[in-house]
Structure 1
Amino acid sequence: MPLAAPRRLIGAALVAASLVASTPAGVAAAPVTSAATTEAVAKLPQATTFTTLSGLPADTDLYGKLSGFVVHPVRTVYVYAQPGGAKPVATLPAKQLGSQTWVPVMESRKGWYRVLLPSKPNHLTGWIKSKGLKTARSSHRAIVTLSTKQLIVMKGKKKLGTWPVAIGGPETPTPTGRTFMLALMSPKKKTYSPLILPLGTHSPTLDTFGGGPGTVAFHGWPDKKVFGKAVTHGCIRVPASALKVLAKMPLGSPVLVAP
């Protein structure tokens, strides 16, 4: 369920750097916004799944419904603790894990959006300026209920499917609350899952896993006997049919993990 540092796919949970992310054709590394100079950006931490940030507000409505309104910074943008803030706390890059960065909007003010971020601690939020962003709206959402070990995927009011899943064990639980689909990654070599779908949350008990940051993800599993059990390091193992449906969810789409 975490992310691997030694450039290899991590065993039971997560996105390793030896994975090739599914990236739209023609997407290149994006420069910073004109307002963010290279020198200034270099001094600030990036809001990615690999970083721990401080000085930013937490999501206080962990089980609230997200609208599906998502934004993508076409260039690196500053992240502030409050709208109109004088000093930025971090930067949000245009890409991470090989995919475009799409984050869900939780609140808006004139010229500003408050978005969910993929960094530690879990449920971190920040304000970014609305200028220079691509916007979209996702009608998809995924709901994982830990008590029943069940996944439901919705598109609008239509249920796309219900599946039993494997969740984190007692010592390595799957974190609860609302999060989002962060990236789509494909292993270079055949492994336990043809796709890894990292989320914007991390293990609450493992600081690292396999050398990586402990990012939680949806992924498949070859042994069907695990479904319906609490046996993972925090990731959510899903049947092959569920993985195919999840892979069609736009990046930034809401994911709710309920107790």
Structure 2
Amino acid sequence: MARSHGTDGCGAYGGLVFGALRVTRTRAGLIGLAACVAAGAGFLGSTDDRPAAAPAPAVPSPSVAPRTPEPTLSAAPAPAGLPVIDYWTAPRGFPADPAAMSLTAVTEGLHPSRSIPVYDAPGGRPRARLTPEISGMPLILPITDRRSGWVAVLLPTANRRIGWLPPKGWTARPLRDHLIVQRRTHKLIWRRDGVRRAAWTVTTGTATTPTPLGRSFVLGRTPTSGAAYANVDALALSSVPENRRALPASLRGAHTGIHGWYDDGSFGRSASNGCVRMPPDAQRTLLKHIGHGTLVTVVD
């Protein structure tokens, strides 16, 4: 995480603290995504001039009965006073992400169009609310599963947790990008539409302040200031510190971030408070292409 005045700790500036990443002011806005089209074609030829064998007689395909659509489970009314999931308040009572370490891309997200309750299962119990923004950033949640007319989404401010939403109160958003962080090799890989676009050597968290494993997502971008961060904006993630007690009290409610870093000698090491430090030019590339809701998967 950020280092100030020669210490290998966290830096505070302009209302933003990294190490985990704390946002008290943001500059939100969807980031334009550049189109990328990959195409390939090929054929298999033969120089054998012998006549081809007669085709085998066609065998009629067995008839397949159409699948009966799974009925949509009704949503229980949400009681008054449900807690709102925000940048500081972690949701409780939600199930673990069953595919937390999956490297499969997620291609669709959703944006709450109003304050909506989030449930612990399809047709289950409402336990919290999601709002259209989180700390000033438009909230886009990756959709990880569908069942009984409901969708499962990754939740912010809680590591490796999902919540379920009925089919109303949100709009779908396409997701094209996927960031994969490899802690052991200190690599960050960027994939778009399933195609690897770039990879960089980065800094990840120490053994006592690790970069959180599993799937999370980009909440948005936030400004930084100071030479340590190369004066480049940061990406705030949905994940939070694994071991809050290992951090200074001021960072225990913070989030993980991806940000630029001034010291080339720190890349390829486990030296941060949990954030991912990037070469400044690499960070600028991410800021140009990576939008809200982008899936981020951290593996060993």
The TM-score bracket by the shorter chain reads 0.7 to 0.9
1:20 equivalent in structure 2? 26
Q: CA deviation at 1:70?
A: 0.4
* Secondary structure of the structure 2 residue equivalent to 1:62: coil
Of residues 241, 245, 254, the one that matches 1:214 is: 254
* 1:92 matched to 2:99: no
* 1:199 matched to 2:199: no
1:126–1:146 distance in 2 versus 1, CA, 3 Å: same
TM-score after normalising by structure 1: 0.84
1:241 equivalent in structure 2? 281
Indicate the RMSD between aligned Cα atoms, in angstroms: 2.6
* Secondary structure of the structure 1 residue equivalent to 2:146: strand
* 1:101 matched to 2:139: yes
Of residues 182, 185, 193, the one that matches 2:219 is: 182
1:83–1:22 distance in 2 versus 1, CA, 3 Å: same
* 1:72 matched to 2:111: yes
Instruction: Map 1:34-73 to 2 at 5 A.
Output: 40=80, 43-64=81-102, 65-73=104-112
Q: Flag structure 2 segments of 5+ consecutive residues without an equivalent.
A: 3-9, 31-75
Q: CA deviation at 1:164?
A: 0.5
1:36–1:249 distance in 2 versus 1, CA, 3 Å: farther
TM-score after normalising by structure 2: 0.73
Q: CA deviation at 1:212?
A: 5.2
- Kindly provide the amino acid, as one letter, of the partner of residue 298 in structure 2: V
Which region of structure 1 is more displaced relative to structure 2, 126-135 or 99-108?
126-135
1:171 equivalent in structure 2? 208
1:127–1:157 distance in 2 versus 1, CA, 3 Å: closer
Between the two proteins, the alignment pairs up a number of residues equal to 242
CA distance in 2, matches of 1:90, 1:125: 12
- Kindly provide the amino acid, as one letter, of the partner of residue 228 in structure 2: Y
Q: Deviations over 1:121-151 (max 9, x none)?
A: x111111122131212212111111110011
1:6–1:218 distance in 2 versus 1, CA, 3 Å: closer
Following TM superposition, the consecutive aligned residue runs of length 4 or more in structure 1 with deviations greater than 6 angstroms are 2-7
CA distance in 1, matches of 2:251, 2:181: 27
2:266 equivalent in structure 1? 226
- Kindly provide the amino acid, as one letter, of the partner of residue 197 in structure 1: L
CA distance in 2, matches of 1:166, 1:214: 18
1:31 equivalent in structure 2? none
1:28 equivalent in structure 2? none
Identity of aligned residues (%): 30
Q: Deviations over 1:194-222 (max 9, x none)?
A: 21211121111125653551311101111
1:151 equivalent in structure 2? 188
1:7–1:89 distance in 2 versus 1, CA, 3 Å: farther
**Does structure 1 conserve the Cα–Cα contact (< 8 Å) formed by 2:19 and 2:256?**
no
CA distance in 1, matches of 2:29, 2:181: 26
**Does structure 1 conserve the Cα–Cα contact (< 8 Å) formed by 2:18 and 2:275?**
no
* Secondary structure of the structure 2 residue equivalent to 1:182: strand
Q: Deviations over 1:136-187 (max 9, x none)?
A: 2212111111110011101124322111100001211111111111121113
CA distance in 1, matches of 2:211, 2:280: 20
Which region of structure 1 is more displaced relative to structure 2, 139-148 or 243-252?
243-252
1:254 equivalent in structure 2? 295
Q: CA deviation at 1:108?
A: 1.2
1:191–1:93 distance in 2 versus 1, CA, 3 Å: farther
CA distance in 2, matches of 1:100, 1:83: 25
